[in-house]
Amino acid sequence: MLKNDLFLRAARGEATERTPVWLMRQAGRILPEYRALRARLSGFKELVETPELAAEVTIQPIDALDVDAAIIFSDILVVPDAMGLPYEMVEARGPLFPTTIKSAADIDKLRIPDPEDGLGYVLDALRITKKALNGRVPLIGFAGAPFTILAYMIEGHGSKTFSKARGFLYKEPVLAHRLLAKITATTIAYLQAQVAAGAQVVQVFDSWAGILPPAQYTEFSARYIAEITEALAPLVPVTVFAKGAWWAVPEFAATPCRTIGLDWNQDPAQVRLQAGNKTLQGNLDPCALYGTPEQVKAATEAMLRQFAGGPHIANLGHGVYPDTNPDNVRVFVETVKAWRG
């Protein structure tokens, strides 16, 4: 039994007494207790791959920020890792893949792993977290969208343009689809296993959606997200967050996802018109949290007003930036909780 099921009810499209709130990347470097734990370890991967520690870090923001949902501490890059393409997390630089996908042979070598084998550490973290939460708040599972995962597998690291990955779509469309199909199969099995391990909502992050032209987005990304939502929606409510893909809202609305995530470039009122009865999630600019507490409160209230007229889960328009003052995050959370729109 959940003591606080506001997030879950909003994610199902049900009415709630107040708007639930959580933050993308709430578990991480904004919290001193995260940085302290992280400093004792060899690196990010050790934290992600040690279920007891991942569970501890997942719960930190529930204690520190009093948010209405927990998101399992992991990364979208565990999927390519389990498929046979390991990543490294380079301090202060971000992810790096020592080998990348270049050919049909590279794609054929990739596994579609049994989640309990290749990703058992995430499933263990979910099971431990679920037990430790003891029903305080719902637990969110997640995975990257196949296109965003392909972008890292081909590019090998973060990039402003992802020109190698985008070039691959033009030069090798057949291979791109072969790779996307393999990532999609892995992701569906992985998310189903996350649900079996205790995830009550799953979110698909298409962080690099905005780098594709709309027609290519439909062909190389949205259709695979649709497949994932069709496989998962019978089990739990599914959230789709595609950063920068404002044009794709009608496509997501046609899938069985329950919630659509908005980044801060999107106009909530306009999205409402396109999204039917879906729940909307978002979308405060993470930079709004750099202001004074009064400014944070005003910006949060302005955001809440824009979402009037339908189910809403308050969040930022992307992950919280690591140099954000946690006190301002608490102002954001408290402002949402006090709001009766």
Which residues are part of a known binding site? Answer: 25-29, 75, 152, 207, 318
Q: Does 229 bind ligand CP3 (CB under 6 A)?
A: no
Return the residues of window 173-192 that contact ligand CP3 according to CB under 6 A: none
Please identify, among the stretches 74-82, 159-167, 191-199, 229-237, the one whose residues bind ligand CP3 according to the rule CB under 6 A.
74-82
Rounded CA separation 292/302 (Å): 15
Nearer to ligand CP3, 107 or 139 (CB): 139
- What HEC string does the chain produce? CCCCCHHHHHHCCCCCCCCCECCCCCCCCCCHHHHHHHHCCCCHHHHHHCHHHHHHHHHHHHHHHCCCCEECCCCCCHHHHHHCCCCEEECCCEEECCCCCCCHHHHHHCCCCCHHHHCHHHHHHHHHHHHHHCCCCCEEEEEECHHHHHHHHHHCECCCCCHHHHHHHHHCHHHHHHHHHHHHHHHHHHHHHHHHCCCCEEEEEECCHHHCCHHHHHHHHHHHHHHHHHHHCCCCCEEEEECCCHHHHHHHHCCCCCEEECCCCCCHHHHHHHCCCCEEEEEECHHHHHCCHHHHHHHHHHHHHHCCCCCEEEEECCCCCCCCCHHHHHHHHHHHHHCCC
The size of the interface with ligand CP3 (CB under 6 A), counted in residues, is 22
Catalytic residue among 34, 152, 217, 224: 152
Any idea what the Cα angle at residue 200 is, between residues 269 and 56, rounded to 5°? 105
CB of 14 to ligand CP3, least distance (A): 24
Binding-site positions for substrate: 25-29, 75, 152, 207, 318
The yes-or-no answer on residue 127 being catalytic is no
Q: Pick from 46, 63, 94, 135 the residue near ligand CP3 by CB under 6 A.
A: 94
CB of 205 to ligand CP3, least distance (A): 4
Q: Pick from 66, 75, 230, 301 the residue near ligand CP3 by CB under 6 A.
A: 75
Q: Pick from 207, 229, 283, 306 the residue near ligand CP3 by CB under 6 A.
A: 207
Q: Pick from 7, 97, 142, 147 the residue near ligand CP3 by CB under 6 A.
A: 142
Q: Does 77 bind ligand CP3 (CB under 6 A)?
A: yes
The yes-or-no answer on residue 152 being catalytic is yes
CB of 222 to ligand CP3, least distance (A): 17
Nearer to ligand CP3, 212 or 272 (CB): 212
CB of 244 to ligand CP3, least distance (A): 10
Q: Pick from 2, 12, 13, 25 the residue near ligand CP3 by CB under 6 A.
A: 25
The yes-or-no answer on residue 340 being catalytic is no
The yes-or-no answer on residue 272 being catalytic is no
Q: Does 86 bind ligand CP3 (CB under 6 A)?
A: no
Rounded CA separation 100/221 (Å): 20
Contact 276, 257 (CB under 8 A): no
326-338 and 51-65 are packed helices; what angle lies between their axes, rounded to 10 degrees? Answer: 60
Catalytic residue among 12, 18, 29, 127: 29
* Beta carbons within 8 Å of 256's beta carbon, 6+ residues apart: 229, 230, 233, 238
CB of 93 to ligand CP3, least distance (A): 8
Q: Does 38 bind ligand CP3 (CB under 6 A)?
A: yes
The yes-or-no answer on residue 217 being catalytic is no
Please identify, among the stretches 18-26, 177-185, 308-316, 332-340, the one whose residues bind ligand CP3 according to the rule CB under 6 A.
18-26
Q: Pick from 120, 158, 291, 326 the residue near ligand CP3 by CB under 6 A.
A: 158
Rounded CA separation 23/131 (Å): 22
Name the residues annotated as catalytic: 25, 29, 38, 75, 152
User: Could you list the residues that contact ligand CP3 (CB under 6 A)?
Assistant: 24-29, 38, 44, 71, 73, 75-77, 89, 94-95, 142, 144, 158, 205, 207, 319
